Structure formats: structure tokens, C-alpha cells
Amino acid sequence: MKKILSQFQYYKSLIGIPIWAEELWEAQKLIIDQQRKIEGVVFAILKYPTDFENSLSNKPLKTAFITMNKCKKYDVSLIKVGKLDEELHFGAFGRFWWKTRDNILYPIRLEMKTLVTLNKTHFIITVVKGTSVAAFQPGYICEANGITSSVYDTPSGAINFLYHILFSSKTRFSGPLICGFNDKEINKRILDDIPFQPFTIMVGNLQIFIGMIGVSDQENLGYVGPGYLSSFIYRVGEEKIRTLFVQQIHQRHCSVALYQDERIKLKYSGKNPDEV
């Protein structure tokens, strides 16, 4: 089994520190091991002021163990599984089209449709491309009783808005639960036909999204090859502007692109990662 050792150093002048995507293969194995240990279990610690004081005096702290089976369940049907889009799910903005559940990244599939019944009314939530502020990120539309919501950046926003319009109620619903993301069968179908399972690793305080890993025999590239893509978000400059860093390995060169508001602000290219 080959060891994937990738060194990618980004501009120190821009972010102040070097970023190393190290031992990706070992990191992926670690993620798989962890997900097996904690799959289906959420550990919540409920801290109140008195509990905090008790903890300081070595007294027991109130804890609660919550499993997915104990979460509120809704009758959710997957009408359409949707599709994977190479540009969206495995491109520069791919990190926004995957969500972590049980330590696994699940795709937010384009045109995915789910149906849920609330207050004897059918609500249909559809995943679309783009919102009013982000053209390359997922958006959500909710339909019920012939009324269609505008595009929201979360499923919660879409369904809560429409529910309020129909019933003049301030009831709030969890978007992931309403979409059936706690349903094993729905999650299984969402993972069908995925050509590569993206994953994330932590490097310091940065979460590195690994969208693709190509393979090569180039030791100077850490044995990864054309198609490799990783990204992370960092705030740069005195104004702390939220910036998306995207690194790719192409057929004949490597590149690092910096995006702000989904537009390329800077791009560097070189023969290998060290040059960029």
C-alpha cells in the first residue's frame, strides 16, 4: 500500500503559516476508524452554571447520551435522489456541497427532492444550484399547497418560512431532520455512485477539504496526481476577508487559487507544489 505524502506550502505572506496536507492516506484511515467507533451516537454534555461549579469541586457533571433513534422522527420520503455534478461536488466550491454526518461526508445532491408531512400538509424540499448571495452553493426551495418559497441557503429557512405562511405558526423545524438526513436508507441512496469519497483533515485550526486525489509515480508530488483538489477557508489581510484557498494538481502544473465572494482574486501556478 503506497503512502500518500503530500507537501503543499501556501504563501506565508498571505496567511502567516505554512500548510501541510500530510499523510492523507493515513488520515483517511483514521477517519474511517473513528466513524466506526462513534457511528450513530451523539455525546452531549449539558452544562448549567451550577454544574460548572460542581465540576470545579470534582462533583459529577450532568450528562446526556443521545442516539439518532431518540431524535424526533418525521415521515420523510425521498422523491428524487438527485445527481452529482462534477463542477459543483468535485470542483473549487465542492466543500459547500458536502455535509458531515456520523463523521462521513454526504453529498448535497443537485435536484434532490424529499417529501415530509407536517400538520396534515405535504411539504416538498428541492435542492437547487445557487442562492441570492452565492451562485455556486446549494440552495433550497420548499413547496406546499401550491405555494413555493424563495431560495434559502438552508432547508430549515425554506420550510420554516412556508410553514409560518400557511399556519401563522412560529414552530421551528430542523432542516436536516425534515430532509431525512437521519434516515439510514436515504443516506445510503445519497452515497450511491460516488466516484470518490471526499474527506477532511485538521491542520492546526484549519479544516482541509480533500475533494479528489489523483495518483501518480511522482515522488515530488507525494504520489498524488492530476485531478487532486483540496481547499480551506482562511481570513486574510487587515480586514480579515473570508478567502477560499483551492489547490489543484493538473496534467503539467500545480496551482493555488484564492477566491473571495466566489471570484478569483489571485492565482499562482508552478511545476510543483513547492513553486506555488
> 218-246, pLDDT tens digit by residue?
776 667 788 999 999 999 999 999 999 99
Q: What gap in Å lies between CA 173 and CA 27, rounded to an integer?
A: 35
Q: Are residues 85 and 137 in the same domain?
A: yes
Domain membership flag for residue 18 = yes
Instruction: Name the H helices within the chain.
Output: 12-15, 24-38, 49-56, 86-89, 155-167, 175-178, 184-190
Q: Are residues 139 and 106 in the same domain?
A: yes
Q: Are residues 104 and 128 in the same domain?
A: yes
Q: Are residues 76 and 167 in the same domain?
A: yes
Q: Read off the pLDDT of residues 92-127 as tens digits, 9 standing for 90 and up.
A: 999 999 999 888 999 999 999 999 999 999 999 999
Contacts 24+ apart (CB under 8 A), 12-18: 14/236, 14/258, 15/234, 15/236, 15/245, 17/204
Domain membership flag for residue 58 = no
Domain membership flag for residue 115 = yes
Around Cβ 61, how many Cβ atoms within 10 Å? 13
Specify the pLDDT at position 199. Answer: 96
pTM: 0.73
Q: Report residue 257 CA to chain centroid gap.
A: 20
Q: What gap in Å lies between CA 107 and CA 109, rounded to an integer?
A: 6
Instruction: Give the count of domains, the chain.
Output: 2
Percent of the chain with pLDDT over 90: 61
Range of the domain at 165: 72-181
Domain membership flag for residue 64 = no
